[in-house]
Amino acid sequence: MNSNNRQPAALLSLILLTFLATAMAGPAVVVEGQWIREAPPTSTVLAAYMVLKNTSDTPLAITRIDSPDFGNSQIHRTVVEDGIAKMLPVEKLQLSARGSETLEPGGLHLMLFDPLRALRDGDTVILVVHDDTGDSVTVQTPVLRNTEETGHAHHHH
């Protein structure tokens, strides 16, 4: 009988907890599959790739992604127009409600300028993803030597 009486209270707590958890969950942006392409030792420009997910029910925009290991960074989109490859800066990367964007070789990518230390395959770099609600997410990002798997496996259809 007691357990039966407790059920509504338990349910209420659960709802309250869920609500609190959602309210206090912090950034709506989740970063997955992030990696930085290892470049030859003297390279001063590297590229990072990842999937950015908006876990909230409202659209938001990624305003910048920076790193304490690099002097500067910028989100770019590679486009091929009439056979010419161009890189266009992306000021704000829009994520629809519950939507996502994929940064991958030959498309959207994070350009990382002026590495402050030598980065080799197996190293880890901190990236901080900022959105237009003022939140930010910090992720550990591995440096990987580009193989066909990392570069192109996603494109096999």
Partner 1 sequence: MSTPRTYSTARLILKGVIIAVLATAAGIWSARLVLQRPAVEDELSATRFPVARDVQPFELVDHNNAVFDNAALQQRWSFVFFGYTYCPDVCPTTLSVLNSIAQRLQDVDEDIRFVMVTVDPQRDTPERLAEFVTYFNGDFLGVTGSDEGLQQLTRQLGILYQRVEQEPGSGNYLMDHTAAVFLFDPDGRYHAVFSPPLSAEKIAIDFRKMLQDTQ
| CB 141 within 8 Å of CB 36 | yes
Q: Least Å distance between CB 87 and partner 1?
A: 5
Is 91 near partner 1 (CB under 8 A)? no
Sign of CA dihedral 118, 122, 124, 127: positive
Pick between residue 60 and residue 127 the one whose CB is nearest to partner 1: 127
**Site size with partner 1, rule: CB under 8 A:** 30
Give the distance, in angstroms, between the CA of residue 82 and the centroid of all CA atoms in the same chain.
30
Return the bridge partners of 62, or none. Answer: 93, 131
Among 45, 97, 116, 126, binds partner 1 (CB under 8 A): 45
* Segment interacting with partner 1, rule: CB under 8 A, options 4-12, 25-33, 104-112, 134-142: 104-112
Among 30, 111, 128, 139, binds partner 1 (CB under 8 A): 111
In whole angstroms, what is the distance from residue 125 CA to residue 109 CA? 16
In whole angstroms, what is the distance from residue 23 CA to residue 33 CA? 26
List contacts with partner 1 (CB under 8 A). Answer: 37, 39-47, 72, 76, 78, 80, 83-87, 105-106, 109, 111-113, 146-148, 151-152
